[in-house]
Structure 1
Amino acid sequence: MTRVLIGRSTELDALVQVLDAAASGTAGVALVGGDAGIGKTRLVTELAQEARDRGFHVLVGQCAELGDALPYLPLLDALREPSIREAVEARPILRGEMLDGGASSGLTQQRLFGSLLDLLGEVQPVLLVLEDLHWADRSTRDLLIFLSRMIQSGRVCVVGTYRTDDLHRRHPLRPVLAELQRLPTVTALELRPLAADDMTDFLSTLGEVRQAVISQVVARAEGNPFYAEELFAAAADGESMPDTLASLLMSRVEVLSEEAQRVLRAAAVAGRKVSDGVLREVTGLGIAEFEEAVREIVSRGLLRVDGYGYIFRHALLQEAVYTDLLPGERTRVHAAFARLLTDPAELAHHHLAGHDLAGALKASAEAGRLAERYGAPAEAHRHYDQVLSLWDRVPDAETLAGEDRLALALRSAVMASDSGDNHRAVAQLQALPATSEVEERLAYYLYELNQDESATAIAENAVRTAPDDGRRARALSTLARCLWWGPRHSEARPAAVEALEVAQRSGAREAEVSALITLGVYEELEGDLERGLKYLDAALDSSSGDLATDLRALFIRSRVSFDHGDLSGAAEFASRGIRLAQETGLTWSTYGTDLRFLRFLVHYAAGEWDHAQTVAAGFGARVGTVQEALLSSFALFIEVGRGLDGVEERLDLLRPFWTDDLIAYMSRGMAAEHALWNRDPATAMEHVEAVLSSLTPADPGIIRVAATGLWALADLGRTDGADALIEAARHGYTTGPSGRRNAMGPEGQAWMARAEAEWARLHGRDTPDQWRGVVAAFDYGFTYEVARARWRLAESLAAAGDRDAAQAEWTLARDAATQLGARPLATALEEFGRRARFVERPAGVLTARELEVLRLVAEGLPNREIAGRLFIAQKTVSVHVSNILAKLGASTRTHAAAEGRRLGLL
């Protein structure tokens, strides 16, 4: 098979099964339906190529929108295939006037059908494709019924395609399909819209473009590949709606009656959805006329019934109809909707489109406050921004908005942050007058963007200018937060204590909770975990009145539990936070995102890798924002640990976000491990050095990166740079932000033990006791790291001559790796096991199917193409490849091919 269509492998497999049956002598019919542009022709073209590769005669006929004027048009088209010319010429009835569109010359339909059946029997194996049956004439529909009922045996396969969106309730093909789909020889398929990931993959094959453009096209195309292709091409030319696509969409509208078009135009002004009563009022039609018009529209699949109203079948159809309206017509209909509606968001839309700016400003302000109450921060921010854009153009804007411009702009910035766009929040705040409230929020968001020095200076100014009330309490709590990690660490506690006092005196609950959180993390860092947890639990006792602060409290409480080995506690608090974020619309806020990756890490550390992989599957690889990229980088933990396909692609897509320190730390750190598992220590060192250059010397994150770097140096056989790495790790372990000792929890202690052992291994000085210490350090619940440490312990024991103990540790590590599905670690253990003679090298243990897969792997084919060649599912190929790697002791596909050649398997 030349290639597998993106997102259509299941449907193609179903068609290939019909072709397989035909090849073995059991004839069959397949009917493929789907909306225009959904990919029917692409799918059938792929099937036709497969049939040609198998030696089938492929006859393809196309129906045309000519009604019954030219009978048997697709059959005439199909019989022009050069490879069957002689067989057709031998049958006068098939080259007679009937097929040329003229009179039948007295020939009956029965004789024609019989002659065609005889022809198909002679030229078999044959694939007959009849495209666009929604345009088929009556004679062609009769032919389809005849073939479906009469073809029972023989190497004959018939495939028909039709547009489901053209089949209105009285379409003549409807009863034909209903009849044929009951037959046992008929396979019916309906192509659904592609999933977002498949659409993204499809667009990536069309050319290079910014991820933001791809995301926009995916959203607008709603799973339709043709629409996506047209929108993609238009985006390159700066167009929104290409003429070809608009013409296609409008061609289905222009066949409607005048009343139906009038209703559809009004519905387009309403938007994607519209209620029945409001639509009828706006059109001005009588009930009978309106209902008949709507029935016509719905029967043609342009609108669908949705509760007590209607929804456009596709958003682009609504856009095309709306764009086709005259300017004055739009304005009048928008004004009519504005007179009837009460929902603030809809009112704002129609007032603005109807050029009623005062009405739009007032309704937008109301819509923003409503969205804020219902937990939709992105929508609230959009509405508030709309108010601000209209402010200078509307008299008495403050009265209409219900608050002054500064207060509304501050509210808009907060909503931007709550929806995950801190950069937007900062930009808005920097454009405002520097009041204490504005500076406090600005400092808060700058700190979240890792601009600590700027945040601290602005927070100090906010404290100086704030009156002695809740505003001062909030400024002090933000200042304490900015100070707690850095050279002025010791100043954080006094600021937090003062914030707590002012907040309690003034009743500023949000500032009180924020101060308690900062005191909690301060005491934890100083080594007093019990005192730190008391502060954090006090912060969680009641709501702060600010959802973002409550999420921060849950995240910090979960993070502290995680760092100190309490995985069940970490899971509990993270899950609470995720639920709160989902319920309140703050999923993409800073801590809404952080809570999700922390919950994932708990699954990962606890050895719940199947669950972790399920969660990571929701962390999209094609990302457009920092928050999305952060989640994507965490998915690498499970993908690298299990050696899954797609790691390289995810890393390539994350590369533009490596300017963000946390994303670079996570993704490049895992990229280094990925390179090491793939025997590329030089690349691993490049990633390690890049990460270390972005971290401050006191950052404990250095420890894990240094341990990875020491592993890479050992694989390179180099000692230069090793001492610098271990000293960097020791400094991060022993030195806190203020220059004093940094209190480390179990995870930090375990990574430091690992770094020390890696440094000793590099110099040939590691001992079994040292690696036993690493195993014990990670044994608080970090399943994977325990297994990795046992691998090194087994090597150290074997080097010391204690073979039995080495094999015992090796067995424990191998069992854990197998249970986790940690393929790279399992492969490394198998290699060591063979060197140590714990296991014998497998010879001749590949199954026949695995040998087939290995041969195609050696040709350099990806899993998708291997699946196509062997007519099996892509997931099945992945399983076979995993088995091959394990049996051959190979860490990569290239390594497996080399081993296969060395063993004579190829």
Structure 2
Amino acid sequence: MRKDLVDTAAKHHVATQEQRHRAAGHISSLVSVSEHEAGYGGQVAESQSLDEAVIAGQAALSRGDWLAARSEFERSLRQFESPEAFEGLSWAVWWLEDVPRCLDSREQAYRLYRRRDDARSAARMALWLGDDHNEFRGATAVADGWFHRATRLLDGLEPGPEHGWLTVFDAHAALARHDTASARRLAVQAREAGRRHGAVDLEMFGLATEGLALVAEGLVDQGMRYLDEATAAALAGEYENLAPAAWTCCRLISACEEVRDYVRGTQWCRQVDEFSRRMNIRFVTGVCRAHYAAILTWHGDFAEAERELTRARDDLTENRPYWRAEAVVRLGELRRRQGRLAEAEELFGQAPGHPLARRGMAEVSLERGDPGAARDLLNRVLRRIPTTNPVSRAGPLELLVRAEVALGAYESAAGHLEEFCSIAGTVRTQPLQASARVVEGLHAAATGRSALACECFQDAIEMFEGCQAPLEAGHARLELARVLETLGRVDEARREAGIALRCLADLGVTARQHDVLTARQVEVLRLVADGLGDKEIAARLVVSEHTVHRHIANIYIRLGCSTRAAAVAGATRLGLF
């Protein structure tokens, strides 16, 4: 979370300058001729030339022309080594992902600002150096050193935008440890500081941070309104610095995905993609593509989702491992939904610390018939998320109920089910409410309340179809077919199973075996596929012919067919063998 905050730290310097310089927003304000005379021995002619080059560099940054910006700042530095030119160059190469030169330029700017005794500007560079070491190298100890240095440099100075950015940083640190109350309080302080100092980007980024905290606490409507407003301001060009504008966009779309508000997410993805393309911000384009691919995956458009994720990986280079993981884990989720579990597991393993990767691994364990491993993993995840952060608990809780039902731990599952349903009722997005009905139905079916289970699955199917989630609707239909079978409603069960399996086949999904047939039913069907009759199968399995006949009848129901050949063909098509 630090990166979101630190990114925004740079823009404060712009807020202290003339309005024409604020538009560039990526580097500190230009120094005047008199300042050059005082600090650099009266090199007036050199400083005048520097001023023009830095202005041109800033203008190039503001329009997303990173190559031109680099050229202008290099031109300035050939004449005179100023901290402003080094800072500007650091931004140009930051966007171009030239990591060694970015770090070197930031350090040069830091040293020159210190030599000038400009503590505010030096603190700004320290903040960005901390962010760079986190984002590009994962060197958290080095990053912390720079963050603490920035804090000490600003200590005792008159309050300014720089202090507001540090406050936003503290807010994000609070969010990272799930202390949403502190995050909200600090975000409000940052927002108010931005308003006082006329720094729109600080004000709006503070609002976005407050929105994130509200969403995390389950106050989704208010939180999303704040994120909507902050993102609108970012895309309208109100942010002096493009970096926090980019983070705001990414966080909004991420929040949409977390609360499963796919309608809002789709609308903003289009806007953000257009913005990032116009400004040539590749990593934002990549993150946007990754989130949009998650929406496409939800809607069952797997081919287009894969194309988007492939492009996202191209946009998100190895230089930004944190952001590249956004594409990797969603590709893993796509593979899991397609039933390609080994590939999914390998992809999740590339980003083991990502929340979606941990949830994905739990899903893989469930689908491989190992609910115990899934439960252990999910309990570890939930221990780190307090109940005051319900939105982050929702996904793990949903899977934990499924795992505990599979293990027969019905009492524990009931407690987690109650918490999950409460969160779904608070958030109120249709996909989350549909998922709550599914796990409620699973628990009801497992505890002998078949009529309630039928109602739950029917409600879930209707809601999933309403929000265009064919895969989820298909799996809910399979669960409904199983319950109908236990109630002796054979024709209805066969019909629901047939619809579900045709849906899975149309999506190209390898069905989850445990959702369709029991292990014994698969065993019987394999022998049917080998050409054995009922009597031979009974002898092979050491059971009665009546038992074999019953298994085959149930297989017909679950596969929505009425002949041995159709059953074998259907199971083969679904990848059950």
Query: Deviation of residue 820 (structure 1)?
Result: 1.7
Paired residues of 2:400 and 2:413 also in contact (CA < 8 A): yes
The equivalent residue for 1:600 is 293
Match of residue 536, structure 1, among 209, 220, 227: 227
Map 1:369-408 onto structure 2 (within 5 A): 369-370=88-89, 372-373=91-92, 376=95, 378-379=97-98, 381-387=99-105, 407-408=124-125
2:463 aligned with 1:786: no
Q: CA offset at residue 562 of structure 1? A: 4.6
Aligned equivalent of 1:773: 459
- Specify the SS of the correspondent of 1:839: coil
CA RMSD of aligned residues (A): 4.6
- SS at 2:240 equivalent: coil
Residues in 1 aligned to 2:184 and 2:113: alpha-carbon distance in whole angstroms: 46
Aligned to 2:342: 648
Counterparts of 1:841 and 1:432, CA distance in 2: 70
Equivalent residue, structure 1, for 2:357: 667
In structure 1, C-alpha distance between the alignment counterparts of 2:420 and 2:97, rounded to whole Å: 39
For the Cα contact (< 8 Å) 1:364–1:383, is it kept in 2?
Answer: no
**Aligned residue in 1 for 2:62:** none
Q: Residue 829 and residue 890 in structure 1: after superposition, are their counterparts in 2 closer, same or farther (change >3 A)?
A: same
1:58-110 CA-to-partner distances (Å, cap 9, x unmatched) read: xxxxxxxxxxxxxxxxxxxxxxxxxxxxxxxxxxxxxxxxxxxxxxxxxxxxx
Specify the alignment match of 1:468 in structure 2.
159
Partner in structure 1 of residue 535 of structure 2? none
TM-superposed CA distance for 1:516, in Å, is 1.8
More strand per residue: 1
Cα separation, 2, equivalents of 1:364 and 1:506: 24
Question: Quick one: structure 1 residues 654 and 819, their matched pair in 2 at CA, closer, same or farther if it must change by over 3 Å?
Answer: closer
Contact 2:481/2:493 (<8 A) preserved: yes
Counterparts of 1:701 and 1:526, CA distance in 2: 9
The runs of 5 or more residues in structure 2 that have no matched partner are 1-69, 523-553
CA distance in 1, matches of 2:217, 2:128: 36
Residue correspondence of structure 1 range 294-333 to structure 2 within 5 A: none
Matches within 5 A, 1:374-773: 376=95, 378-379=97-98, 381-387=99-105, 407-414=124-131, 420-421=135-136, 423-424=138-139, 427-428=142-143, 430-431=145-146, 434-436=149-151, 467-483=158-174, 489-522=180-213, 524=215, 531-539=222-230, 540-541=232-233, 542=236, 543-562=238-257, 566-581=261-276, 584=279, 586-588=281-283, 594-618=287-311, 625-644=321-340, 647-648=341-342, 651-652=345-346, 654-655=348-349, 657-658=351-352, 660=353, 663=354, 665-685=355-375, 687-697=377-387, 698-715=389-406, 718-720=407-409, 722-731=410-419, 734=422, 743-766=427-450, 767-773=453-459
In structure 2, which of residues 478, 481, 485 is the aligned counterpart of residue 798 of structure 1?
485
TM-score (norm 1): 0.43
Letter in 2 for 1:808: R
- How far is 1:633 from its partner? 1.8
The answer (yes or no) to whether the contact 1:378–1:415 under 8 Å persists in 2 is no
Paired letter, 1:376? W
Residue number among 507, 511, 536 corresponding to 1:820 in the alignment? 507
Q: What SS does the aligned partner of 1:468 have?
A: coil
Which AA in structure 2 matches 1:670? G
User: Using the alignment, how far apart are the partners of 1:634 and 1:655 within structure 2?
Assistant: 12
Alignment pair present for 1:839 and 2:561 = yes
Closer, same or farther: CA 533–649 of 1 in aligned 2, 3 Å? closer
Higher RCO, Cα 8 Å, sep 6+: 2
Cα separation, 2, equivalents of 1:517 and 1:833: 53
Amino acid at match of 1:674: V
**Alpha-carbon contact 2:93-2:102 (below 8 Å) kept:** no
Q: Which amino acid aligns with 1:673?
A: E
Q: CA deviation at 1:639?
A: 0.7
Output one character per residue of 1:265-311: Cα deviation in whole Å (capped at 9) or x when no partner: xxxxxxxxxxxxxxxxxxxxxxxxxxxxxxxxxxxxxxxxxxxxxxx
Letter in 1 for 2:331: A
Question: Which residue type is aligned with residue 474 of structure 1?
Answer: W
Q: 1-side partners of 2:483 and 2:148: how far apart?
A: 65
Q: CA shift at 1:617, angstroms?
A: 3.9
C-alpha displacement at 1:603, in angstroms?
0.6
Shift of 1:370: 4.0
Aligned partner of 1:745: which letter? Answer: T
Taking the aligned partners of 2:374 and 2:149, their CA distance within structure 1 comes to 46
> How big is each residue's C-alpha offset from its partner over 1:163-222, in whole Å with a ceiling of 9 and x where there is no partner?
xxxxxxxxxxxxxxxxxxxxxxxxxxxxxxxxxxxxxxxxxxxxxxxxxxxxxxxxxxxx
Closer, same or farther: CA 507–586 of 1 in aligned 2, 3 Å:
same
C-alpha distance in structure 2 between counterparts of 1:345 and 1:833, whole Å: 72
Alignment-mate amino acid for residue 719 of structure 1 = G
3-state secondary structure, aligned to 1:421 = helix
Shift of 1:558: 3.1
Kindly indicate whether the alpha-carbon contact (under 8 Å) linking 2:130 and 2:147 is maintained by their aligned counterparts in 1.
no
Q: Is the 8 Å Cα contact of residues 571 and 602 (structure 1) preserved in structure 2?
A: yes
Q: Give the Å deviation of 1:792.
A: 0.7
Q: Do the aligned partners of 1:567 and 1:606 also contact (CA within 8 Å) in 2?
A: no
- Amino acid paired to 1:517: A
Residue 607 of structure 1: how far off its partner (Å): 1.9
TM-superposed deviation, 1:744 = 4.8
Distance, in Å, in 1 between the alignment partners of 2:363 and 2:274 is: 33
Could you say which structure has the larger radius of gyration? 1
Q: 1:484 to 1:833 in 2, by over 3 A?
A: same
In structure 2, distance between residues paired with 1:486 and 1:428: 18
> 2:160, 2:122 → 1: CA distance?
22
Per-residue deviation, residues 839-862 of structure 1 (Å, max 9, x unmatched): 14544999xxxxxxxxxxxxxxxx
Partner of 2:549: none
Tell me, what secondary structure is at the counterpart of 2:138?
Answer: helix
Note the C-alpha offset of 1:761: 2.7
Contact kept? 2:126, 2:146, Cα under 8 Å: no
Distance 2:152 2:285 in 1: 24
Distance in 2, Cα, partners of 1:511 & 1:346:
29
Q: Indicate the SS of the match to 1:774.
A: helix
Aligned-residue offset at 1:479: 4.1
Q: What CA distance in whole angstroms lies between the structure 1 residues aligned with 2:415 and 2:310?
A: 37
Q: In structure 2, how many angstroms separate the alpha carbons of the residues matched to 1:889 and 1:378?
A: 44
Q: Which runs of 5+ in 1 are unaligned?
A: 1-341, 349-357, 439-461, 847-883, 897-906
- Output one character per residue of 1:489-548: Cα deviation in whole Å (capped at 9) or x when no partner: 445545444433332221011211112213434555666655444433332234322223
Cα 1:592–1:414 shift into 2, 3 Å: farther
Relative to structure 1, is the Cα distance of residues 485 and 765 closer, same or farther in structure 2, using a 3 angstrom cutoff?
farther
Structure 2 CA distance for partners of 1:368 and 1:751, relative to 1, 3 Å = same
Summarize deviations over 1:422-442 as a string: whole Å, max 9, x none: 73477245146634497xxxx
**Could you report, residue by residue, the CA deviation over 1:702-726 in whole angstroms, capped at 9, with x for unpaired residues?**
44434434444555xx323x43344
Bigger helix fraction? 2
